[in-house]
Amino acid sequence: MIFGGIDAGSRAIKALLVEDDGLEVIASGAADQGVDQEALARDLFGKLLADNGLRPEDVRGVVATGCGRNGIGFADTTITEITCHACGVRRLVPEAMTVVEIGGQDSKLLRLDADGNVRDFAMNDRCAAGTGRFLEEVAERFGVSLAALGEMAQNSRKPAVISSMCVVFAETEIIGLLSAGAAPEDIVAGVQTSIATRVAAMAGRNLADPVIFTGGVALVSGMDGALAAVLKRPVRIAPRPQMTGALGAAVLAAQQPRE
């Protein structure tokens, strides 16, 4: 039997298929978010099926998650991204106890219990300064890709201090740093530290190891090191971090009661 997960995030839609025998991933893909996310999700899901010789009727259940989950009409049910990311990360890293997820428009810190259930969580969905959107705006200002940002940060000799708590004021601060002669590499490294610091502020005390980093921002090189430095503990990147929400949704789809 085949089950599907759709993660309708703020910046991208991710889809994933698992096979019931062991819940192994058989297909996955992503598409940029847009105005008609229902159509985008249908097209992406349909392509995954067609590429693997499957028909819609071969799929026994679909769970949608992410901030746009309620707009995915062909899903059988919806489950919050908190639960889905926890499930997806635990599927990939069974020993995970803390999950840091940074996406395009929000960031989350999840504390798990010994069984992988979410014991507690904190979420920042009100300020872009702690999310991937801040990195996107910095990349646009320097005219480089997100991947190139990571390479720039690695060449920093003295990371700049970005103290503003609001991304709008932080942009003004960056302009001032450039005018003062700060190297772009140092500014990028400072931005990474700034994002990590905002995530750490949600962590409080007594984080349980291991800490697993997931979400699209985990693909930007150097962000794991910035988090590790601020949290003062090792941080591991989840395998295929952009897909953990969709994976959790697909696994949970297989666990839904059937008639």
Q: What is the CATH number of the domain that holds 222?
A: 3.30.420.40
Q: Are residues 78 and 158 in the same domain?
A: no
Q: Are residues 67 and 102 in the same domain?
A: no
The residue range of the domain holding 188 is 95-237
Q: Dmax over Cα atoms in the chain, in whole Å?
A: 67
| Token pair belonging to 140 | 């646009």
Domain count of the fold of the chain: 2
31, β-bridge pairs: 13
- Of the given ranges (24-33, 76-85, 88-97, 195-204), which has the lowest mean pLDDT? 195-204
Q: Are residues 79 and 126 in the same domain?
A: no
More confident residue, 126 or 7: 7
Q: Are residues 229 and 101 in the same domain?
A: yes
Q: What is the mean pLDDT of the chain?
A: 91
92 confidence band (pLDDT: 50, 70, 90): very high
Q: Are residues 65 and 171 in the same domain?
A: no
24 confidence band (pLDDT: 50, 70, 90): very high
Query: What percent of the chain clears pLDDT 90, i.e. is strictly above it?
Result: 70
| Token pair belonging to 194 | 């700034």
Q: Are residues 203 and 143 in the same domain?
A: yes
d(C-alpha 216, C-alpha 218), whole Å: 5
Strands 77-78 and 235-237: unpaired
Q: Are residues 19 and 86 in the same domain?
A: yes
Q: Provide mean pLDDT across the span 206-233.
A: 94
Q: In what order do the strands lie in the sheet with 24-32?
A: 24-32, 12-19, 2-8, 59-65, 77-78
Side-chain half-sphere CA neighbours of 95 within 13 A: 4
CB 146 within 8 A of CB 108: no
Q: Are residues 84 and 100 in the same domain?
A: no
Q: Are residues 120 and 36 in the same domain?
A: no
Q: Are residues 19 and 29 in the same domain?
A: yes
Coil/strand/helix, residue 151: helix
Q: Are residues 22 and 126 in the same domain?
A: no
Q: Are residues 110 and 74 in the same domain?
A: no
**Per-residue pLDDT tens over the stretch 120-165:** 999 886 666 677 888 888 888 899 988 888 889 999 999 999 876 6
